[in-house]
Structure 1
Amino acid sequence: MSSTWNRARRFIWGEIPASKEERKLLLKIDWFILSYCCLMYFTNYLDRSNVSNAYVSGMKEELNMQGTDYNKINTIFTCGYIVGMIPNNLMLQVVPPRIWFPLMQIVWGVLTFCTSAVHNVQQIYAIRFFQGVSEASTFVGTHYILGSWYKPSELGKRSGIFTSSGLAGTLFSGILQGAVYQNLNGAQGRSGWRWLFIIDGIITLPIALYGFLVFPDVPATTRAFYLSEEERLLSHDRLEPAQDVDRHGLSWNLMRRVLGRWRWYACSLLFAISGETESLGSNNLMGQWLKAIGGYTVEQTDYYPSGMTAFAIVSTLVCATWTDYTRARWPVLVYMSVAVIFSAICILVWSSPTWLKFLAYYVAGASYAGQATTFAWANQICADDDQERAVVLASMNMWNNVINAWWPLLFYPATDAPRFRKGMIAMICTGVATLAVTWLVWYLERREHRIKRTCEIKNDAASLDIKEAEDENEKPRSASVEVHPTSVGQRAVAV
């Protein structure tokens, strides 16, 4: 019974620490790291999703938004996100994360308040650019922190929980917008969508204060009040020998290491492509579809897309749990790709019944399962070089957003609602391309492991040869002493 329970526990929560001290440490870092990172990412995605929910809840009409104005808001946010990506992750090498994360959160919280007072879409453009710069610290920065504290066997599940917290923000945003529209629309002369941003800002700022108080930085520099000196040492020593979690000074050698290996190129390409499978959700295509075909209330247009987000959360947590148990990351990307190809085909065939389109949009939520898995995979691949890991994680998200800056304008413009024919064809191609690049990363990782094992075997053989040679050289000095008689007595002769 005990062994069955242990297997179930290992499957659900990852590898069980061997000692009581390590179990206690893991409990602490789970509580303080995951609680803050998840709350931070929750408010991050709450803010992002509020724009799409506000758009279908009166913002479009009140600000007289035309054509692709909505897509331009997302594109400008993405441009800011791209600009802030690598600088934010490198700042974590200079400024303690317990300072940098909450500081950036305060910046985007204040900007969220400002969004509630805009008078035209141009003001939203400016605000969203600077929000993108500040919010760029959250996603890859947290994956860098998770990779600094957790073993590979623990990483997938924690990455999945973190990613799911962002999806929970998306889910909550739709529910919150519906409730705000019902209860606060017109209160004190403000539209419901304006109240949404005010409430979002109110939620954000206390969480930033919580980060200042409890976030532990990284194992090499942590001074968290809840960790003893023994736990600080254990947090560093318990990680695998090949896992580099020390702080190093920045140098030009970093660029040579990053550009001289396959990791930066392959991992960046993987998320640059696979991240676009999230387009159905990130552009709220289901909400735009419901608004365009008509027959649904504002509240229904806000609520119904939440089914996609709910399926995304379940897929992310189940897949993350499975990958930690099996240590295989690539099957999740296969599952995700097949799901979005199925969804795109169902929506592309416009004569398909409405219930099938609902199902297709919900199943497309599986695309979000790839976020946690892809970044856990990159953390695992780059575990032996802390600085390279920081750059690779940032670059993955940066290149995805470079594509995402123009991708929706080209394939998912608001003017294409409700059919999004070009977008569905692009989604099928994206799914197929993701399968191909997944195979490439899997192959390169296996090849690197084979090369490392071969080098280790050769080094061991060389060490053995050297040792044998040294032993041979030692033999004359350690040989027995024979005694030969001489005419003047006896003399010891070493043979």
Structure 2
Amino acid sequence: MVNIIPKLRHVKGYYGQVETSVTTLSDSSSSINDDKKSVNVDEDDGDDLSQDPSMFNDSITVTTETGKDVTLITNRSYELRNENGRNRFRKFFDEFEYRLNAKDKVSRFTNFSFFKFLYPSRITNTRAETTLMFKLDILVGLYFLMLCWSKSVDLNNYTSAYISGMKEDLGFKGNDYIYTSSITGVGAIIFQIPFMYILPRYPAHYVLPFMDLGWTWFTFACYRANSLAEFRGYRFICNSFGGAYYPVSQYILGSWYGPDELSSRVFLFFCGQLLGGVTSGLLQGKIYGSLNMVRGLAGWRWMFLIDAIAISLPTCILGFFLIPGTPEQCYSLFLTDEEIKIARARARRFAIVNPTSKLPKFFSWSNWKKLFFSPFFWILCVFDTVSWNNMTAFSGSYSLWLKSLDKYSVVKMNNLSSIPAALGFAYVAICALGSDFFRCKWAFIFFSNMMNAISCAILIKWDVSSSAKWFAFMTTYFSVAASPCLWSIINDFLRFDPQLKAMTWIAIYSFSQSTYSWIPTLTWKTTESPKFRTGYIASLIFTLIYAFWSFVVLFFYKRNEKNHSIDNGIILYNDDPENKKEIPFYVEKYLEQREDGFYYLKEVSKEN
């Protein structure tokens, strides 16, 4: 009988691992460390058959004269790069200068093909890797698209239901609309904090479907709400179950894809959010027109029923079977052993450290010190916070403006409310695919925010022509277009430590989301509808900060990548007499140059 229950795949090693180990050598200026430094770890719950990439036996760790450990691995190309004559101003904007070496930085312009565009970072160039990438796009990319779509349909359904009779049925008054949105968001913030511990330790194909089941049940419960207080209670618990699906999904995506592949896959995830914005209005319009007062239920109540049973529940079931885990702890029913090894080789080549069964103790002071005393944490906190609060697209202002015109039917309003989200597909595609194609995320973050700034400026003015106002509303989704670039940068920053990655993702996301729970209550007051002047001014300020903060992030990102340049296959030196930095001794001693001009680790029998 075929086993249909996902279990941990006991696959050892990675693709291309050699049987012989390299020698352990030392001299007066260097040493090779065989033993790992001791680390305080959680109790092991079984044999660590997946292995930590840093523990593979075909690598050596060289301690340089400065005391820094440098790890060299087999099957890895190293570029020897002279920094003499480097143009600092021009190179500042080269985001991937230290992220990929010349061999890995495959040009997408030479012999351009759609396949090369989608998969530029193939390591083995084998049919097995091609199959792996297609499978990942289906298992990971399309599943998260469906998951995000189901969540987005429900979140957008709140606005659709509000303008479709829920306001009158439940007695919304004054600022109750925005207060309800903020109160229910608090649940997500509180209940996602435990995922700092859960993320790297428990299989996502158990965790996410369980959380999704809770979301489904309380979405279903919303149809029977008979008062505003009861509705708020259901939405609070519903959002509590859905609080972690953003960081969990990004955590998993960042474990499988390379730095110039990730934004395109986050785009798939984000397509689900946009698709939810489109289909929510269309579905609500269709349901209101055909099911309103059928069996005594208002049209907006039918939407919550259909949302739970026909949309959320199927994604919950699919998640259990489709979510593959990570390359080091894989539970997939659909990947072969060879494909898992290839995925590990890719992660190793991209310097992505994924969780294993041995992790630092969660409550260790060193973990929290690395979190809160790292400048990266605060830089990324600001980055994510401004991205949350510049989002005019999700303010509901467009739908409320349509309602204020008092010339469209409920069905027509719901259909029109889908247009900005539909256009959002193009905006997000331009930024996500463009940032991967040109390997330049910061430029598309800046571009999208400038477009959103124009939209906000028009709506602040308000007394403009009808065509100008329609243009402004139709471009509000530029406020979210840069999100795939943002999340890809965060993933790349945090790829070296799986425990710190989980803690930082949740901490950043919780802090940013918490600001989104109270700032809109001050800036997007329902009583200011439909002009929302305060809201657009606030969004303009956050948008401009977001745009120019991208240069701050770029500076620290490049500094971080330069510090890890050896992990990215780049060995730096400088033969300028004034800033002389000699070629490291280990290049000649442990590496050999091959016909392609790059250096590779010598394979030497290990000495006992």
TM-score (norm 1): 0.89
Residue aligned with 1:153, SS? coil
Describe the shift of the 1:14–1:357 C-alpha distance in structure 2 as closer, same or farther (beyond 3 A).
farther
Aligned ranges 1:24-39 → 2 under 5 Å: 24-39=131-146
Worse-matched range after superposition: 204-213 or 176-185: 204-213
Q: Within the alignment, does 1:188 sit opposite 2:295 as a pair?
A: yes
Post-superposition Cα deviations, 1:72-117, rounded to whole Å, max 9, x if no partner, equal 1110122112112332353222221001111111100000010000
Aligned ranges 1:307-386 → 2 under 5 Å: 307-386=419-498
- Greater helix fraction, Structure 1 or Structure 2: 1
Q: Give the residue type in structure 1 aligned to 2:492.
A: Q
Q: Which residue does 1:490 correspond to in 2? A: none
Q: Within the alignment, does 1:243 sit opposite 2:355 as a pair?
A: no
Q: Which residue does 1:80 correspond to in 2? A: 187
Alignment partner of 1:7 out of 91, 112, 119: 112
TM-score (norm 2): 0.73
Percent identical pairs in the alignment equals 24
Q: Which residue does 2:337 correspond to in 1? A: 229
Q: Which residue does 1:275 correspond to in 2? A: 388
Separation in 2, partners of 1:27, 1:6: 21
Separation in 1, partners of 2:587, 2:407: 81
Q: Give the residue type in structure 2 aligned to 1:353.
A: S
- Is the contact made by 1:312 and 1:367 (CA closer than 8 Å) also made in structure 2? no
Q: Quick check: which has more Rg, 1 or 2?
A: 1
- Is the contact made by 2:175 and 2:525 (CA closer than 8 Å) also made in structure 1? yes
Q: Which residue does 2:317 correspond to in 1? A: 209
Separation in 2, partners of 1:14, 1:351: 48
Q: Which residue does 1:401 correspond to in 2? A: 513
Post-superposition Cα deviations, 1:235-263, rounded to whole Å, max 9, x if no partner, equal 11122252111324243232222223222
Separation in 1, partners of 2:329, 2:399: 45
Describe the shift of the 1:242–1:4 C-alpha distance in structure 2 as closer, same or farther (beyond 3 A).
closer
Describe the shift of the 1:450–1:36 C-alpha distance in structure 2 as closer, same or farther (beyond 3 A).
closer
Residue aligned with 1:330, SS? helix
- Is the contact made by 2:448 and 2:482 (CA closer than 8 Å) also made in structure 1? yes
- Is the contact made by 1:104 and 1:134 (CA closer than 8 Å) also made in structure 2? yes
Alignment partner of 1:148 out of 236, 246, 255: 255
Alignment partner of 1:265 out of 353, 359, 378: 378
Separation in 2, partners of 1:311, 1:406: 28
Separation in 2, partners of 1:179, 1:363: 25
Post-superposition Cα deviations, 1:19-68, rounded to whole Å, max 9, x if no partner, equal 21111111111111122211111111111111111001100001111111
Q: Which stretches in structure 2 are left out of the alignment for 5+ residues?
A: 1-107, 574-580, 591-608
Deviation at 1:8, TM superposition (A): 3.4
Describe the shift of the 1:89–1:356 C-alpha distance in structure 2 as closer, same or farther (beyond 3 A).
farther
Separation in 1, partners of 2:520, 2:586: 60
Post-superposition Cα deviations, 1:399-455, rounded to whole Å, max 9, x if no partner, equal 221111112111111111111111111122111111232111111112333444599
Worse-matched range after superposition: 111-120 or 351-360: 351-360
Separation in 1, partners of 2:210, 2:563: 43
Deviation at 1:208, TM superposition (A): 0.8
Worse-matched range after superposition: 136-145 or 5-14: 5-14
Separation in 2, partners of 1:88, 1:170: 27
- Is the contact made by 2:170 and 2:227 (CA closer than 8 Å) also made in structure 1? yes
Greater RCO, CA 8 A, separation 6+? 2
Deviation at 1:392, TM superposition (A): 2.5
Residue aligned with 1:296, SS? coil
Deviation at 1:145, TM superposition (A): 0.3
- Give the root-mean-square deviation of aligned CA atoms: 2.3
Q: Which residue does 2:221 correspond to in 1? A: 114
Q: Within the alignment, does 1:437 sit opposite 2:549 as a pair?
A: yes
Post-superposition Cα deviations, 1:279-332, rounded to whole Å, max 9, x if no partner, equal x22121100111123222112221212121112111112211111112211112
Deviation at 1:226, TM superposition (A): 1.4
Q: Give the residue type in structure 2 aligned to 1:205.
A: L
Q: Give the residue type in structure 2 aligned to 1:414.
A: T
- Is the contact made by 1:88 and 1:136 (CA closer than 8 Å) also made in structure 2? no
